[in-house]
């Protein structure tokens, strides 16, 4: 069967470096495009949108680990969840940096009023701020210091993060009445969160 082979691959010493390299590939592509001026007529917008898209994608990938692990019988997938979550934060921080630098010139006098004025930037900033303690406590020492129960409670904030990220994307696209991608992300997130509810219910009644 395929599952044992996949499980062995996930436990291979090269599995994590391979996933790390693949996770850096979008950043490398965006950086190459910026350096070679091949991001189109509006490179700043391409960088902001690109880093934002990859933030939401990595959030979905991190949330997909548990359902896939449970459904496919691949416990070794859990080894990748922390890395995927940290890459979600990495791309989220880049997304905000691109906005603050390329749109606002790193001028706090412009950035703060803009965040307060535009709802989609406000919820995006809130999502990034919620991700900060999750990234800071993703390491073993922090887990031990907090204790399993408190650590798990804190990291449930990822559900709020992904919903805020989806709302940020929805409001950003609403200006152009373009909801096709939003609907795809909404469906994926609904499945990932719905699986968790179903799994808990199934365990209670079994």
**pLDDT by 10s per residue, the chain, length 206:** 567 888 889 999 999 999 999 999 999 999 999 999 999 999 999 999 999 999 999 999 999 999 999 988 899 999 999 999 999 999 999 999 999 999 999 999 999 999 999 999 999 999 999 999 999 999 989 989 999 899 999 999 999 999 999 999 999 988 777 889 999 999 999 999 999 999 888 878 76
Query: How many Å apart are CA 152 and CA 157, to the nearest integer?
Result: 9
Can you give the pLDDT at residue 2? 65
> Would you list the domain boundaries of the chain?
45-64+81-205
The half-sphere exposure of 7 on its side-chain side, counting CA atoms within 13 A, is 10
Token digits of residue 130: 């919620």
pLDDT of residue 175: 77
CB 28 within 8 A of CB 97: no
DSSP letter assigned to residue 39 = S
Angle (CA) 61 30 89, round 5°: 40
- The C-alpha atoms of residue 33 and residue 37 are separated, in whole angstroms, by 6
């Amino acid at each position: 069967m395929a599952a044992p082979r996949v499980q062995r691959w996930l436990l291979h010493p090269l599995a994590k470096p391979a996933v790390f390299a693949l996770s850096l590939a979008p950043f490398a592509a965006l950086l190459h495009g910026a350096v070679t001026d091949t991001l189109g007529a509006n490179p700043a917008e391409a960088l902001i949108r690109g880093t934002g898209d990859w933030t939401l994608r990595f959030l979905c990938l991190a949330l997909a680990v548990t359902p896939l692990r449970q459904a496919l019988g691949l416990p070794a997938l859990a080894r990748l969840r922390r890395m995927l979550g940290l890459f979600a934060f990495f791309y989220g921080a880049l997304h905000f940096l691109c906005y603050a630098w390329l749109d606002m010139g790193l001028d706090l006098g412009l950035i703060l009023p803009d965040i307060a004025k535009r709802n989609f930037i406000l919820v995006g900033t809130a999502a990034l701020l919620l991700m900060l303690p999750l990234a800071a406590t993703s390491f073993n020492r922090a887990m031990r210091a907090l204790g399993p129960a408190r650590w798990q409670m804190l990291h449930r904030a990822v559900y709020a993060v992904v919903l805020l990220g989806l709302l940020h994307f929805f409001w950003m696209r609403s200006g152009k009445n373009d909801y096709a991608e939003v609907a795809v992300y909404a469906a994926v997130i609904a499945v990932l969160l719905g699986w968790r509810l179903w799994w808990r219910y199934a365990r209670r009644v079994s």
